[in-house]
Structure 1
């Protein structure tokens, strides 16, 4: 195994899919209700075979290289394909443009065999040279300025990926700087979709893909997609998808009722319960302790804080944007350590831990929190935590600051305890545990991700080895051990996982929320009443 110092130059990429934020959300699941839009289509109505989808921040142009946050990854998923894909409803990996793959014995070369007969939207065939070219465009140093995905996911060249090559027309080889087990999860992200430069009818440059839909019309706040004939995975259920920029509840409710909108993906819990559904995502909120200084350099005091946070009371404060989290990993990530709750404990336990920590009574640490009140009222959540701890003789001050100020203070380690958040853009444990918990990510400054500045060589070794092994069973064992160590040390305490939301009309069929927020829409359709269904053999 590579020794830690050598590993350090490239190991910062081991956080590739984690972006740390200081905004939060929370909510309990709801089920689609048939109460929404009781107006059944009349026989005189025109049958629509397009889905109208509302979401905030609909882009007017698509570039997988910028599809990291917001609505862009969702739309990119419908237009572009990746070498491998996340399975429906989970973050397990399945074939996509590549039908099979294998890694060399040293884990440094991954070979992918491409699916035969796949074509880009302009009719040209997919080849290994096109795939390699798609990756290389994003790996070039000069591309890093405008391209946000590769730096965020893989830190660009020469991070994890050294080279992408095409030894023949159907084989793609990805050469790594070091063994990197989460590679497949990374490659399933829409930001790493395969795209080909093309020229539009107006002469403008654009990127085209091989996905189930192609872009046919784009304007500010509106993007129309049309089903791609001969798509390799079979025809999509809907002939057209029209994405519309819809942010506010009032607008969404009006357009859902008038049938101008079929599905709405809000950024926050919707006001309306009818037709709403939710599922846990991959963004967690947590309490970070500055472990380098008093008072939270004391492990037993950190344990006392976790024991004092009652998840039932916390859930009420989270309202409908998130739910309490009792694990270091969210539900959509494999390798979770189950059966060992992190939050909550008896008053006797809390007081015993406080006594053992020799809590200095004259000390009143500060809880740093973003001042934002929507979609989750973070100062209010901080007040709930303050009350929970205060009732057990753990008084806190609250310091509410702008998001930019909070980030600056976190990166400098200039705080006692902070409420912050991390997002995993994939389903591998490494992508959350490594950046939040290891020495590599504990260097102060803009690259800091381990805001607790906790350093433990034994934990580093466990997480590094887990990131380099090929077999899932061995990695699972190491991640269980790593989470047990975190549960004992508690440099940070997970407190909630955000919920993602959708609102759909009752005639929408086949909609399932994906943990990543990148939902498949080629399997979604409108339920056409029998009286409106075309006769066998009829054409439109």
Structure 2
């Protein structure tokens, strides 16, 4: 359901305020009417969730955004999943698995009696059909914008110059799938819990042309399968997508192999404005939403709403590129930046309760975390001393921060930028602010190393050091170092060697040494904080289990009417 607009003479300042308030009210009323029609449906219990953005499509293999995955993970399952409330893997469509001694051959024993939503049996042939589909992508399907997680996890495709981690899939019998890798990796089998690697119905994908994706300028035109017929094995199945109303409706899979979903219908109502999501919750238009403003948590609790704060499984960091500013190539200058930032005050003043000062680039629940690393306590005088020693007593730096975005690790980018910029100026650093929209140049420029000093972060996909520091500082990331940073290739090689190490204890020791050197020898960025993002629901909602990966499954939810 859309909201109309009109143009006229330029309003006064007070007129603009009234117009904005009126528009918010009209939007809230319009959304309530739309949601109520969805809630009534054909009767039965409905859980309505206020989503911050629209899903791009419903084929998780071609997705990389959280709002798409929020929907698809309710319909799709992988060989492995994540235990509720944790980042630890557990059996899902595979009941158990084992690997060869060298870590390159993985045998998965599959769950019996499972069917896809279209009635196609789930078996080893279906597993291999999915792996072969991913590996044999052609044309636009090989684009990193579409196959992001395949490229990040497995590398290349068939007949590709880039080496691939994947070699083959065999189905010796219906209940056994054997995955061959070209080398050992710390990613396995945890990475198979990623939503992109959900197992989908080969029958439906063939019938509705799942791979028929076409480039259209800077965007893509997706297949009929991806738009209208996503088919998994999960507790909910696809019912409808109303693009004008910006809503997605899923219905309970009555033939689900596991415990039945607690509601008949699951509705995702897209409400981009956080304040409107809050108003809809207060009015009863929706039953829950994600990432409430930290400033609202206390009042929401006082009004009886259930505010659940997830365990922090993320990192906010201040990145330092060495491409364009020669001063930043000097370790002493980067150390000065680290000493200049008052991270304790940043956490207490700008992040929600429960946030923690970060010493490393991932939480202490991840392997390889060590405490005996170089420390950079807030010390403006030490920062000034290091700058003088480096011959840059008053350097000028561009400090970038994003607009038009809220991230779990960065709930208030402007406030965080202002706090850090003030700290840097106190240490004698001349700050030149640069701000760009998150999807309007910020991310693309940062990824090309154009931002000298910048704010960025990450929410972990699974519990592995490679998913954090391998992603940040590996050979495919140009945020931090391009030539002439001589240690860039060395660090990337060490990270790849640790990922390849098949022995868990040896691998953990390798990551521990890398973490020590990241702080003392390299310092490509300054770890700032781990922040616990919240999710809020109405008092009538029971059974929601918050995920540190922000990857909740709503099949356990029940709504008391």
TMscore range, shorter length? 0.7 to 0.9
Q: Distance in 2 between matches of 1:348 and 1:475?
A: 39
Q: Could you tell me which residue of structure 1 aligns to residue 142 of structure 2?
A: 144
- Please say if 1:515 is aligned against 2:551: no
Q: Could you tell me which residue of structure 1 aligns to residue 237 of structure 2?
A: 214
Q: Displacement, 1:214?
A: 1.3
**1:351–1:476: structure 2 CA closer, same or farther, 3 Å change rule?**
same
- Please say if 1:130 is aligned against 2:126: yes
The correspondence of residues 264-283 of structure 1 with structure 2, limited to 5 A, is: 264-266=289-291, 271=296, 273-274=299-300, 275=305, 276-279=307-310, 282-283=313-314
- Of the three residues 450, 457, 464, the one matched with 1:421 is 457
* TM-score, length-scaled by structure 1: 0.78
The correspondence of residues 16-415 of structure 1 with structure 2, limited to 5 A, is: 49-59=45-55, 62-142=58-138, 143-145=141-143, 147-158=147-158, 159-196=164-201, 197-198=203-204, 205=225, 206-220=229-243, 221-266=246-291, 271=296, 273-274=299-300, 275=305, 276-279=307-310, 282-291=313-322, 294-315=326-347, 318-320=350-352, 324-330=357-363, 333-338=366-371, 342=375, 344-347=377-380, 349-355=382-388, 357-361=389-393, 363-372=394-403, 374-375=405-406, 378-403=413-438, 404-407=440-443, 409-415=445-451
- 5+ unaligned residues in a row in structure 1: which ranges? 1-44, 443-447, 529-540
Whether contact under 8 Å (2:350, 2:415) holds in the other structure is no
Instruction: Classify the secondary structure of the residue corresponding to 2:467.
Output: helix
Q: Displacement, 1:422?
A: 3.9
Whether contact under 8 Å (1:337, 1:480) holds in the other structure is yes
Q: Distance in 1 between matches of 2:132 and 2:430?
A: 54
Q: Distance in 1 between matches of 2:437 and 2:282?
A: 37
Q: Distance in 1 between matches of 2:277 and 2:224?
A: 33
Q: Displacement, 1:132?
A: 0.9
**1:60–1:409: structure 2 CA closer, same or farther, 3 Å change rule?**
closer
My pick for the range that moved more, 157-166 or 123-132, is 157-166
Whether contact under 8 Å (1:61, 1:218) holds in the other structure is no
Deviations 1:403-447 (A, max 9, x none): 554455545544543333345422211122123234x236xxxxx
**1:401–1:523: structure 2 CA closer, same or farther, 3 Å change rule?**
closer
**1:250–1:462: structure 2 CA closer, same or farther, 3 Å change rule?**
closer
**1:108–1:219: structure 2 CA closer, same or farther, 3 Å change rule?**
same
**1:260–1:390: structure 2 CA closer, same or farther, 3 Å change rule?**
closer
- Of the three residues 509, 531, 540, the one matched with 1:477 is 509
Deviations 1:438-471 (A, max 9, x none): 4x236xxxxx354476525664454233212334
Q: Distance in 2 between matches of 1:435 and 1:526?
A: 39
Instruction: Classify the secondary structure of the residue corresponding to 1:165.
Output: strand
- Structure of higher RCO (CA pairs closer than 8 Å, 6+ residues apart): 1
Q: Could you tell me which residue of structure 2 aligns to residue 8 of structure 1?
A: none
Deviations 1:55-88 (A, max 9, x none): 1234385212133213211221111110011111
Q: Distance in 2 between matches of 1:323 and 1:62?
A: 35
Q: Displacement, 1:54?
A: 1.6
- 5+ unaligned residues in a row in structure 2: which ranges? 1-39, 159-163, 209-222
Whether contact under 8 Å (2:318, 2:526) holds in the other structure is yes
Q: Displacement, 1:194?
A: 0.3
Q: Distance in 2 between matches of 1:400 and 1:111?
A: 49
**1:333–1:75: structure 2 CA closer, same or farther, 3 Å change rule?**
farther
Q: Distance in 2 between matches of 1:449 and 1:164?
A: 35
Q: Displacement, 1:283?
A: 4.5
Q: Distance in 2 between matches of 1:250 and 1:501?
A: 15
Q: Distance in 1 between matches of 2:358 and 2:108?
A: 37
Q: Displacement, 1:306?
A: 1.1
Q: Distance in 1 between matches of 2:68 and 2:364?
A: 23
Q: Distance in 2 between matches of 1:295 and 1:461?
A: 25
Q: Distance in 2 between matches of 1:282 and 1:134?
A: 29
Q: Could you tell me which residue of structure 1 aligns to residue 525 of structure 2?
A: 492
Whether contact under 8 Å (1:364, 1:397) holds in the other structure is no
